[in-house]
Structure 1
Amino acid sequence: MLVRDAMSTVVLTIGPAHTLRQAARLMSARGIGAAVVLDPEAGGLGILTERDILNALGAGHDPDRETAHGHTTTDVVFAAPEWTLEEAAAAMSRGEFRHLIVLEGHEAVGVVSVRDIIRCWVRGARRDTEPERERAGALAG
């Protein structure tokens, strides 16, 4: 299975001047754990995750004054839609993060998370075991 099969194509893009509270509200409203931060002055695309916001709040930062710019990861590892889920999971494991921005050319076309990968793997495992369950049911009947 490929990243394109698992990724979310709903990409929340925010600017570096968004406050952490604004970013958290937007992420919460969409039920997502990361926002792509478009900051041309800092080199283009970065990512702000729920963990970044949590760490800022835990450190006592004011979510109404702190901006995404100060908490964005800019040394981002990007994925391609053609990567396998195993390649994406390996990159996440190596980097110790849970989200990858998916690029096609220079455009962010999605975000893939650990949760997305697990969902696909579980669905795939269910499909793989269904024929076995059907055979077992036929033998029992």
Structure 2
Amino acid sequence: MLVRDAMSTLVLTIGPAHTLRQAASLMAARRVGAAVVLDHAHNQLGILTERDILVSVGAGQNPDLETAGAHTTTDVVFAAPAWTLQEAAEAMTHGGFRHLVVLDGDGPVGIVSVRDILRCWTADRCGAPAAPPMDLVQVE
């Protein structure tokens, strides 16, 4: 199976001036764990993950003042849609990250996560289609 078969084509893109709170709100609303940060002024593309936000908040930084640009990973490893899931998993393992921005041509066409890969591998090994994501239920 290939990255194009597993990747999410819902790519949240934000600018470097977005605050971490704004980024977290957008990520939560779209139920994604990462956003692509497009910095047109510097012709740069990076990624901001939920972990980046967590580290900042855990360090006592104010999410209303901290910007996405200050916490964006810019030395991103990109995947191609034609990569195998094995290649993507190896790149993630080697780099120690959970998301790969998928590039095709001039820009991002998707994001593939560890969860996407596991979902596909589980469906392949069980011989059944992958189950749709479950909605979270809050218990009080």
TM over 0.5: yes
The ranges of structure 1 where at least 4 consecutive aligned residues each deviate by more than 4 angstroms after the TM superposition are none
Matches within 5 A, 1:66-81: 66-81=66-81
Partner of residue 115, structure 2: 115
CA distance in 1 between counterparts of 2:20 and 2:42 reads 18
CA distance in 2, matches of 1:41, 1:71: 17
Higher helix share: 1
The answer to whether 1:64 aligns with 2:64 is yes
The percent identity for this pair of structures is 70
In the TM superposition, 1:50-61 aligns within 5 A as 50-61=50-61
What letter corresponds to residue 81 of structure 1 in structure 2? P
1:43 and 1:70 map into 2 onto residues whose CA distance is 16
- What amino acid does structure 1 have at the position aligned with 2:115? R
RMSD of the TM alignment (CA)? 1.0
Alignment correspondent of 1:85: 85
Distance 1:60 1:42, change over 3 A: farther
Q: TM-score, normalised by structure 1?
A: 0.89
- Deviation per CA, 1:116-141: give whole Å up to 9, x if none: 0000000001118xxxxxxxxxxxxx
Q: What count of residue pairs does the alignment treat as equivalent?
A: 128
